[in-house]
Amino acid sequence: VTGEQLVPVRLRVNGVERTVEVPGRRLLSDALRHDLRLTGTHVGCEHGVCGACTVLLDGEPVRSCLVLAAGVDGHDVTTVEGLAAPDGTLHPVQQAFVDCHGLQCGFCTPGFVLTIAAFLRDDPDPDEDAALEAVSGNLCRCTGYQNIKAAVLRAAELARERPASPDRTPG
Amino acid sequence: MTTSWVGRPVARVEDPRLLRGEGRYLDDLGQGALAAAFVRSPHAHARVLDVDVDGALDLEGVVAVYTYDDLVESDAVDGTRVAEPLPLLIPHPGLHAPRTPYRWRGPRSTTLARPW
């Protein structure tokens, strides 16, 4: 409508090659939600404070509202939709949130889950302080964080219990 | 089977859906949705005798215009209950009656209220 120039972007989302044509100013969060219709990624503050829009970019957690879609050409993105195993089994972090009542409304949850998945890949056996520190960049207005901290520790436990399950977290 | 839920954790049925990114929050809906505009009477106190939608339908891009008559038809055809009048709401006296033995003394008084 605006006659804005479009940029072709090729990216791999949850293991699938996708191509979108977006204006240069399109945020990665909007490209995922609107262009690719992956609405599991939530936009809370849209300026990098709340962490709800966190996705994994080449395996590392990033706030997708602070990344331009045009900047991820050729890169690998994992969203919350891509975390469960192909057979539908929840990722240990997702299961831990169920076990520990780590969510109420669930709006902030995708950002937490991806943040924690990347954290536990690097630190598979954290103590309580490390678990809390790991989620300190994500805001949740429902839970009071105690159950989320418990979910981090529970997820570490679950990952140890079922090491055979493929870790779909890239990187 | 016990009927008591007291003292037992209750599994939330919505968690797996929310954790898979399959929630349906308001901003997740409406992809490709049409926009709606509500038109109200320009007169503050008047009886609406007729709504002529012909001019509106002729506008480019207008897909549909709905009036109260469509609600009546919907109720008759589809069994909806959207044309029913709103219930008559009468506030409980306790909600608007004075709750303390203080009385409003009027705007000329510098004391807003005093015991009677």
Contacts of A142 (CB under 8 A, 6+ apart): A103, A104, A105, A108
- Would an 8 Å CB–CB cutoff place B99 in contact with chain A? no
Distance from CA of B42 to the nearest CA of A (A): 33
Number of residues that make up chain B: 116
For residue A149, the SS3 value is helix
pLDDT over 80 (residue B46)? yes
Distance from CA of B18 to the nearest CA of A (A): 6
- Would an 8 Å CB–CB cutoff place B21 in contact with chain A? yes
Among residues A42, A47, A69, the alpha carbon closest in space to that of A57 is found at A69
Among residues A144, A57, A157, the alpha carbon closest in space to that of A101 is found at A144
The CA-atom distances, in angstroms, between B44 and each of A79, A94, B6, B41 are 51, 55, 54, 7
- Would an 8 Å CB–CB cutoff place A41 in contact with chain B? yes
A 10 A CB-CB count for A18 gives 16
Can you give the pLDDT of all 171 residues of chain A as single tens digits?
A: 567 899 999 999 999 999 999 999 999 999 999 999 999 999 999 999 999 999 999 999 999 999 999 999 999 999 999 999 999 999 999 999 999 999 999 999 999 999 999 999 999 999 999 999 999 999 999 999 999 999 999 999 999 998 654 454 543
pLDDT in tens, B11-34: 899 999 999 999 999 999 988 889
> What is the ipTM metric for this complex?
0.90
Q: Specify the pTM.
A: 0.75
Interface of A with B in 63-82 (CB under 8 A): 79-81
- Would an 8 Å CB–CB cutoff place A92 in contact with chain B? no
- Would an 8 Å CB–CB cutoff place B31 in contact with chain A? yes
Contact call for B19 and A94, based on CB within 8 A: yes
Q: Measured between alpha carbons, how far is A41 from A127 in angstroms, rounded to an integer?
A: 28
Contact of A111 with A163, CB cutoff 8 Å: no
Contact call for B22 and A109, based on CB within 8 A: no
Contact call for B20 and A80, based on CB within 8 A: yes
Contact of A131 with A68, CB cutoff 8 Å: no
User: What's the mean pLDDT in B34-59?
Assistant: 90
Q: Measured between alpha carbons, how far is A169 from A159 in angstroms, rounded to an integer?
A: 12
Among residues A69, A67, A64, the alpha carbon closest in space to that of A22 is found at A69
pLDDT at position A169: 52
